[in-house]
Amino acid sequence: MNQLALVGCFFLLTNGSVSQLSVPMPAIVWDILSGVALAFYTLYAVSLLAQYDSLFVVGWAMVIGGLALSFIHPPWQMDYASLTADIYVYLFFVIMLGTMIAFWFYIESLQSLSPKETSLLGSLEPLSAVLTTVIWLNEPSG
């Protein structure tokens, strides 16, 4: 199974050509960092869940991540006056439903599943997003 994942990554990154990448290098670096962070988040959360509630773990993870990224994109430098009410609704939706609740469900699943099962099921999310977009929203893929 790992070999199939590596072959798939090779084709995604190179389009089948060994002489060039079809994805920008910063995207590859961020993907690798994201994978390492998810592995850490999945494995380390198991020991945290033995001591703390899952909502507490997710809350602190969001606070720590938000503080760390504040140095890259400082929220105090943003022009909040230019944001409309619609934008605030969209932000609320993305932050609460798309991020916090999604991570909470992910961490909560570690109480019933092993880290390997949880990360395997979590890796199906991009596929389900594409299928939902194509089937339910009738949007073409790609």
Q: What is the mean pLDDT of the chain?
A: 85
Q: Is residue 125 situated within a structural domain?
A: no
* 6 within a domain of the structure (yes/no): no
Looking up tokens 């960092």 gives 33
Tens digits of residue pLDDT in 31-77:
889 888 888 888 888 888 889 999 999 899 889 989 999 999 999 99
Closest CA to 48 of 3, 105, 107: 107
In a domain, 66, yes or no: yes
Q: In this structure, is residue 29 part of a structural domain?
A: yes
In terms of residue numbers, what domain contains 73?
25-113
Instruction: Tell me how far CA of residue 98 lies from CA of 50, 61, 90, 123, 132, in angstroms.
Output: 26, 15, 10, 16, 15
Burial label for 109, CB within 10 Å (0-12, 13-18, 19+), is middle
Is residue 20 domain-resident? no
Confirm whether 90 is domain-assigned.
Answer: yes
Confidence at residue 19, expressed as pLDDT on a 0 to 100 scale: 79
Prediction pTM value: 0.68
pLDDT of residue 63: 93
The token duo for 74 is: 């400082």
Expressed in angstroms, the distance from the first to the final Cα of the chain is: 25
In a domain, 120, yes or no: no
Does 142 score more than 70 pLDDT?
Answer: no
Domain count for the chain, please give it: 1
